[in-house]
A and B are shown apart, each in its own frame.
Chain A
Amino acid sequence: MTATAPLVTYTLPKRRHPVFAFAVAQPLGAIAFVVIVVMIGAGVFAPQVAPYDPVALDFGAMLAPPSFEHWFGTDAFGRDIFSRVIHGARTALTIGFLSSFVGCTLGAALGVASAYFGGRIDLVTQGFVDVVLSFPLIVLALVVVAMLGKFVVAGVDLNLIVAIAIPILPKVERVIRAAALSVREMPYIDAARAAGYSNMRIIFRHMAPNVAAPYLIMLTAYIAQAILLEASLSFLGLGVTEPTPAWGLMLSGNASDFYREAPWMILFPGLAISFAVFAFNLFGDSLRDWFDPRFKV
C-alpha cells in the first residue's frame, strides 16, 4: 500500500487589468488621467468640438457674458472663449508634451551617460548642471526665448519648445543620474563590459531601460511645468503670438483691460491652466506611487 499525498491545488489570483488596478489603487490618479484624456481629445478634435472658429472676430458680440450661445462668453474682439479654450488645449498640450519630452529625454541621456562614465566626465557634467540649476525656471526660459526669438514650423514655435526644455533638462539629469548610479553597480553591467559590449550599447540597451520608471514619471510631471511655463511666457508676450488660441495669451493683452467688466475673459483660461497642471501633477504623483514598490507595502 502506498500512501498518496493529498492533492493540493493552487489557484492563481486573478490578475486585474493594469488600468483597472491603477484606478483602484490610485483613484485620484485615475480621475486626473480622465481629465488628461478629455483634454487630449479636445485638443485633437478641437475643430469638431469647438462651436465657433477660435480666431473669427465678431464685433457684434464683443464682451458678451456666458450664455447658451457662448458658453464661456466672448472676448474684446467678440471671439468665442469656449472655442478658444478648446483650441488652446492643442497649443498647451503640443508645447507641453514636446518640451517635456525633449527636456526629459536629453536630461535622461545625459544623466545615464554621466553616471556610467563617472570620473571627469561626471564632474564636468554635474558642474554644468549645478550652474543651470542655479537659475529659476522662468528666468532661464525668459533668457533663452529672448535670445533665440521665434522659429515657427507648422504653427509650432520650436524655439519656445527649446526655451522650456532647457530648464527641465538639468532637473531630470540629476534624478536619472542618481538612479543610474545604482544600476551601474549591477552585475549584469559588469557582465556586459566583460562581454566587450560598446559603451553606447551598455548605456542604451542595459542601463536606460532600468531608469525608465523615473523617466516616465518626470515626463508626465514636467508636462504640467511646461504648460505653466508656456502660459507664463505667453502672458509675458514671449510665447505664442495672437491670434493663436493659447491659455496664457488669453490672460494677457485685452484681458487686463476688460477683466473687471468681463471677468470670464480670465476665469475660463485660468481654470483651464489650473485643471491641466493639477491633472498632470496628480497623474505624475500617482504614477510614481504605482511604480514604486515601497508604496505598495
Chain B
Amino acid sequence: MKKLAFIGLAAALALPATVSAQAPKKGGTLVYAISAETPTYDCSATDTYAGLHFLAPFYSTLLKFDLANYPKVMGDLAESWTVSEDKKTYSFKLRRNVTWHDGSPFSSADIKATYDRLRNPPTGVVSTRRATFADIASIDTPDPATVVFKLSAVNPAMLEHFASPWNCVYSAAKLKDDPTFPTKQVMGTGAYKFVEHVKGSHVSGVKNDKYFLPDRPYLDGFKGVFILQPAAMLNALQGGQVMAEFRSVSPAERDRLVQGMGDKLRIEESSWTLNILIAFNTEKKPFDDVRVRRALSLAIDRWGGSVGLSRTSTLRQVGGLIRPGSPIATPEADLVKFPGFGKDIAANRAEARKLLAEAGVPNLKFELVNRTIAQPYTPAGIYVVDQWRQIGVEVQHKQLETSPYLAALNAGNYEVAIDFSNLFMDEPSLALAKYVSFDKAPENRSRAIDRELDSLYEKQNRSTSDAERVGFIRQFEARMLNQAYQVPLLWWHRIVPTNKVVMGWQMSPSHNLGQDLVNVWLNQ
C-alpha cells in the first residue's frame, strides 16, 4: 500500500521553523515552565504532555518525528530500517554507540523488552498503548544491533507508532529485575541524565556526555519548573526566570507577553493536533437517543464560536475528526453537511428543538462535567452552556480538578462531558481510534458500541489503497457525526512563547513532540 506520504506536508510547510544560520553555542542551562506535574515516571502508563515535558529529555525512542519535515519520521535509536513487500515485517538496524545512563551497553534486547512490555504488560504494569501494538505478532533480535517486528496484519500507521514520543525505551536488564522500575527510576539513553525531581518545584537534568549523537546535546543541562498558574508563568517568562513554555499560551497571554517583552520574545503559532470533544454518555438516558445527541450538536454555532473564542482562548478552527488543515481533513464543503456544522444556525436550532420534542425531552436538563483547567476548558464549557440554553436546554456546569475529572470519566459518572482528543500526528488510525466501540477503546467517552464504526475503522486500517482508505475515513466520520456519540467543538491553536535566547527548538502541531531538547542551545 502506498503510504499517505502527503499527510501534513502543507502543515509542515506552514510551520515557522526555528532554524538559525548561526553556529550553535555550547553550554548553559535551559529553564522552562511546565504547567502540570507528571502523574508518573513511566511513559507507557500516561498520555499527558506533563509526562513528556518532564521525561522526554532523559529517554530515546526507536524512531522519532522529523519536525523540520513533519510528519516524516527519522531514526532515533534506529540507524536505518526496511519494510518488507507485504508490509508485515519491519527490520531496524540500531546504533552501536549507545549506552545507558548507568554505563551499560544498549542492544536490540532492550527494544524487544520495551515493546513486549508495551504490547503485553506484565501484572502491575500499565500500558495505555497496548491496543496500538496489538498487530505485532513477534519481535526477533537476530543480533545485538538488529530488531525485527513481524505483524499479524498490515498496519499503515505502524511506522508512525514506532515514532510515538511515548515509547521511551527501557533497559531489558532493569525490566527483567523489576518490570515496574520505570515507575520508580528515570534511567534512559537520552541526551540528559536525571538529576532530581523536587515535587511541586522542578525537575532537572544534566548533559549526557556519552550521548550517541556527536556534539550533542549543546546544553549543560535543563530545569523544568512546575508553574501551574498562567499568571505566574507569564510573570516568570517576562522576568527571565524561565525561558519558554512549550505547551501553549492563550491569545491574550501572547499579547501581554509581546507587550511586556518586545523583541526579547519569539512567538510561534501552529494549528494543533488537539480538539475539544463533547461526549454524550450513551449509557445514561436520554443520551442513548440519537435525536437528543444530534439536537445538542445542532444547537452549537461552531463557526460563530470559532470567531469569538479564538480571540480569548486557544480554541480556533472548526473541524471534523481529523485536524483541519491536514491533507486528509474533510473539506469545508463536505463538513457543513454534518449535523451541527452547517452555517445556518437558526435552521439548525429549529431542527434541534424539533428533535428534542420528538424525543420527548423538550425541556432537557443535565449536568456537564468539565475540567477546572482554564484554557480552553472553561471557555468551552461557558460557550456550550450558552448555546444549549438557546434551544431551551438547562445545563449545570460542573468543573472538577484533573484527578476527579478523569476518575468520573473513567467510571462513566457523567451525563455529558467535555473531553479532548490529544494526538501527536494526523494519522487516521490514531485519530479515529478514540471513536471505535467502548469495548475496544476504553478512552471512548460516549461508551457506545457501534459495530459499523468498528468495521469502517478496521477497513481503513487494512486498506492498501490511499483513495479507498480516504473513502472509508469519510464514511467513518459521517457515521460518527450523524450518530453524534462524541462531537468535536473546535480544534485548538498552539501559541508557544520562547525567549529569543532559546535556539534549535522546533515548533510542531503537537505539544507532545520535540521535547527531547537534543538540538536546543542558548544564544547567550
Contacts and interface: CB of A to CB of B under 8 A. Distances in A.
Contact of A62 (B311, B382, B386, B399): B311
B381 A77 contact: no
Contacts of A260: 256
B398 A241 contact: yes
A55 B250 CA distance: 22
A185 interface: no
A143 B324 CA distance: 43
A32 interface: no
Given A57-B382, A243-B385, A77 B398 contact: no
Interface string A243-258: 1100000000110111
Nearest to A244: B397
B307 interface: yes
Contacts of B256: 257, 260
B250 A257 contact: yes
Nearest to A243: B382
Interface string A44-60: 00000000000111010
B331 interface: no
Interface in A10-68: 55-57, 59, 62
Contacts of A62: 308, 311-312
Nearest to B404: A149
A62 B312 CA distance: 10
Contacts of A56: 386, 389
A237 interface: yes
Q: Which of B253, B372, B397 has the most chain A CB within a 10 Å cutoff?
A: B397
B252 A57 contact: no
B399 A241 contact: yes
B360 interface: no
Nearest to B383: A57
A interface secondary structure, majority: loop
Contacts of A258: 252, 312
B231 interface: yes
Given A55-B385, A57-B383, A152-B398, A242 B378 contact: yes
B312 A76 contact: yes
Contact of A253 (B308, B378, B386, B398): B378
A184 B323 CA distance: 75
A150 B312 contact: no
B396 interface: yes
A263 interface: no
Interface string B394-413: 00111110001000000000
B312 A241 contact: no
A56 B387 CA distance: 9
A243 B372 contact: no
B22 to A, nearest CB: 34
A78 interface: yes
B304 interface: yes
A78 B308 contact: yes
B131 interface: no
Contact of A257 (B252, B396, B398): B252
Contacts of B250: 257
B374 interface: yes
A242 B381 contact: yes
Interface string A123-151: 00000000000000000000000000110
A57 to B, nearest CB: 4
A237 B382 CA distance: 14
B396 to A, nearest CB: 6
Contacts of B389: 55-56
A150 B308 contact: no
A187 to B, nearest CB: 56
A57 B381 contact: no
Which of B252, B253, B256 gathers the greatest number of chain A CB atoms within 10 Å? B252
Given A254-B252, A260-B256, A242 B311 contact: no
A241 B385 CA distance: 12
Nearest to A77: B382
B385 A257 contact: no
A256 B375 CA distance: 13
Nearest to A59: B308
B312 A152 contact: no
Nearest to B396: A152
B312 A254 contact: yes
Contacts of B379: 77, 254
Nearest to B368: A241
A37 to B, nearest CB: 31
A78 B383 CA distance: 11
Interface in A197-227: none
Contacts of A241: 397-399
A10 B327 CA distance: 102
Contacts of B304: 59
Interface in A150-179: 150, 152, 155
Given A57-B308, A149-B404, A243-B382, A256 B396 contact: no
Interface in B359-391: 372, 374, 378-379, 381-383, 385-386, 389
Contact of A55 (B231, B312, B386): B386
A56 B374 CA distance: 19
22 contacts: A55-B385, A55-B386, A56-B386, A56-B389, A57-B382, A59-B308, A59-B311, A62-B311, A62-B312, A76-B252, A78-B308, A150-B398, A237-B372, A241-B397, A241-B398, A242-B381, A243-B385, A253-B378, A254-B312, A256-B230, A257-B252, A258-B252
Given A55-B386, A76-B312, A253-B374, 12 more contacts: A57-B382, A57-B383, A62-B311, A77-B308, A77-B379, A149-B400, A150-B400, A152-B398, A241-B398, A242-B378, A242-B399, A253-B378
A-B residue pairs, 5 tightest by C-beta: A59-B308, A257-B252, A57-B386, A76-B312, A243-B382
Interface of B: 230-231, 250, 252-253, 256, 304, 307-308, 311-312, 372, 374, 378-379, 381-383, 385-386, 389, 396-400, 404
Interface of A: 55-57, 59, 62, 76-78, 149-150, 152, 155, 237, 241-244, 253-254, 256-258, 260
